[in-house]
């Protein structure tokens, strides 16, 4: 089984369209909207191609009309693009974003996966870079062999004992 894992699409349908394949399953770790120009296309694509989608802080912000709690450097852009996303999504898409789960635990081939957008202790907003000393605690909270997170916009693999993030 081939699982494709993506995150932080941020309304970038061109990047999403460039995926070479969708695998047997497509797992999306949140932030479908904001920042990019095509929120409706991204949401529509994800709804059509993935049953495993997690709510990110930007999805939460658009779905509930709340602050996405970005760092000050991105606040103005997040505010402007959130208004754009809301104006370009219909009520069904907004409801879809609002109803996405914050976490999922899945088993495939006798392996347990914990999925969230940020980190298990704070699945919407927690920020934990690769070198952080918080990972051992987060692995404990996840209670899975594999912890899959997005939010940092930096791909990395971190191993602690028998667990992998």
The more confident residue out of 41 and 164 is 41
For residue 80, the model assigns a pLDDT of 93
> CA geometry: angle at 10 spanning 56 and 83, to 5°?
90
Q: Which two tokens stand for residue 107?
A: 């088993």
Provide CATH code, domain 3-99: 3.60.21.10
**Most distant CA atoms of the chain, gap in Å:** 46
DSSP strands (E only) in the chain? 3-6, 25-28, 52-53, 103-108, 111-116, 146-148, 159-160, 163-164
Domain edges within the chain: 3-99, 103-164
For residue 147, the model assigns a pLDDT of 93
For residue 17, the model assigns a pLDDT of 94
pTM: 0.94
24 touches 5 (CB < 8 A)? no
Residue-wise pLDDT for 43-90, tens only, equals 999 999 999 999 999 999 999 999 999 989 999 999 999 999 999 999
User: What phi, psi does 19 have (nearest 5°)?
Assistant: -55, 130
Q: Which two tokens stand for residue 133?
A: 């000393």
Residue-wise pLDDT for 97-126, tens only, equals 999 999 999 999 999 999 999 999 999 999
For residue 157, the model assigns a pLDDT of 83
């Amino acid at each position: 089984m081939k699982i494709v894992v993506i995150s932080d699409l941020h309304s970038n349908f061109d990047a999403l369209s460039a995926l070479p394949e969708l695998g047997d399953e497509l797992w999306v770790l949140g932030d479908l909207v904001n920042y990019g120009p095509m929120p409706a296309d991204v949401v529509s694509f994800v709804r059509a191609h993935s049953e495993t989608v997690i709510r990110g802080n930007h999805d939460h912000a658009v779905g509930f009309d709340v602050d996405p709690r970005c760092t000050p450097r991105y606040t103005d852009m997040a505010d402007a693009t959130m208004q754009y996303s809301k104006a370009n999504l219909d009520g069904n898409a907004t409801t879809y974003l609002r109803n996405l789960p914050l976490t999922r635990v899945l088993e495939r081939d006798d392996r347990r996966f914990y999925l969230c957008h940020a980190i298990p202790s704070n699945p919407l907003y927690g920020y934990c870079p690769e070198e952080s000393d918080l990972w051992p605690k987060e692995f404990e909270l996840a209670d899975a062999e594999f912890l899959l997170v997005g939010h940092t916009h930096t791909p990395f693999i971190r191993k602690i004992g028998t667990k992998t993030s």
